[in-house]
């Protein structure tokens, strides 16, 4: 009986106690102490767990991204390479079209060749092309492109030939000033420019005049463009003009050329 009463009293006290504490908004001092003591550990553990979880997730995320990145980089490099190849093909196409257009205007037999090497010396201006005796090339044949005269073949092997450019100091081309028909000889200077020698001072030569081949040297057909006058120097004691010529051909960017196999000794400009 006492046990039952004690149990009821305990329940009543418990209910009263609960009803009293439920009305209080702030915790007692003990609760604060407990919270202050435990919360930092809770925080530490929770943050550690979150940190570990984040690292774990990020790790997998990064692994996935790295793989994806690798694949994308590979695709990008392939795309860049393809673009570059297309660009190169496009440029080659343009150059070859120019060459074919130019070839259509030439009645002589020509052979297209590719430049495969340059002179090892800085002092001499020659190039090696990938056509030789087997393709009908012989010494002395003129080499041209649509912009103008390139040079002449000076050595031939079975499948390759050496071409001396008109800027080489050994080169000489009999030429005319297109506007006034004044004659002279274009000589190489081993630089990017040439000189037009033996033009009499009585002849009119101006900056910008176009120089063409005269055809009188027996190598180059008549009427082919060579370059333009970039400087005229007058010397009082000289009977000739000193004329500096800038060639139309950019020899630094020479890639494909035409070798004229049979040069006809008549006016180049009058032919179709």
Partner 1 sequence: MSYFFNISVCLLLVILQTTIMPYLPPLDKFYDLLIPFIVYLSLSRPVRESLPFILFLGFIMDNLSGGPFGLYLTTYFWLYVGVKGITMFIQVGKRLLIIALIVAGGVLFENLISLGAFALLGSRQQFAGDALEIVTIQVLWAIFTGSLFLLFFRNAQSRLGAGFKGIYARTREQG
Residues of the shown chain interacting with partner 1 in the complex, contacts defined by CB under 8 A: 116-126, 128, 154-155, 162, 164, 168-170, 189-191, 195, 252
Q: Min. distance of Cβ 251 from partner 1 in angstroms?
A: 10
251: helix, coil or strand? helix
Give the three-class secondary structure for 230: strand
Token pair in block for residue 205? 């030569």
C-beta closer to partner 1: residue 143 or 212 = 143
**Residue 118 · residue 127 · CB < 8 Å:** yes
- Closer residue to partner 1 (CB): 145 or 194: 194
Residue (42 or 191) nearer to partner 1, CB = 191
> What is the rounded distance in angstroms from the CA atom of residue 268 to the CA atom of residue 182?
18
> Closest separation between CB of residue 270 and partner 1, Å?
33
Positive or negative: CA dihedral 207, 212, 217, 220: positive
190/232 with CB nearer partner 1? 190
Residue 224 in contact with residue 269, Cβ under 8 Å? no
Cβ proximity to partner 1: between 126 and 213 the closer is 126
Nearest distance, CB of residue 46 and partner 1, angstroms: 60
Q: Return the bridge partners of 175, or none.
A: 184, 213
- Residue 123 CB, shortest distance to partner 1, in Å, is 4
C-beta separation of 187 from 194 below 8 A = yes
Nearest distance, CB of residue 63 and partner 1, angstroms = 39
What residues contact residue 117 under an 8 Å CB cut-off, 6+ apart? Answer: 127, 128
């Amino acid at each position: 009986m006492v046990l039952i009463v004690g149990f009821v009293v305990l329940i009543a006290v418990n209910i009263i106690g609960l009803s009293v504490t439920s009305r209080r908004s702030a915790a007692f001092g003990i609760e604060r102490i407990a919270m202050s003591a435990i919360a930092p550990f809770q925080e530490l553990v929770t943050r550690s767990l979150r940190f570990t979880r984040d690292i774990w997730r990020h790790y997998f995320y990064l692994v996935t991204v790295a793989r994806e990145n690798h694949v994308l980089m590979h695709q990008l490099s392939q795309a860049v390479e393809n673009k570059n190849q297309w660009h190169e093909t496009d440029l080659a196409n343009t150059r070859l079209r120019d060459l074919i257009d130019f070839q259509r205007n030439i009645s002589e037999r020509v052979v297209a060749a590719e430049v495969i090497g340059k002179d090892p010396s800085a002092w001499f201006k020659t190039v090696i092309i990938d056509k030789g005796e087997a393709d009908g090339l012989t010494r002395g044949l003129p080499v041209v492109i649509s912009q103008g005269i390139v040079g002449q073949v000076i050595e031939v092997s079975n499948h390759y030939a050496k071409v001396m450019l008109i800027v080489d100091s050994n080169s000489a081309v009999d030429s005319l000033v297109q506007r006034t028909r004044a004659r002279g000889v274009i000589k190489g200077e081993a630089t990017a420019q040439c000189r037009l020698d033996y033009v009499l001072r009585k002849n009119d030569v101006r900056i910008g005049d176009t120089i063409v081949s005269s055809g009188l040297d027996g190598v180059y057909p008549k009427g082919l463009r060579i370059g333009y006058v970039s400087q005229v120097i007058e010397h009082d004691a000289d009977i000739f003009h000193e004329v500096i010529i800038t060639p139309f051909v950019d020899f630094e960017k020479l890639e494909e050329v035409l070798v004229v196999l049979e040069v006809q000794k008549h006016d180049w400009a009058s032919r179709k």
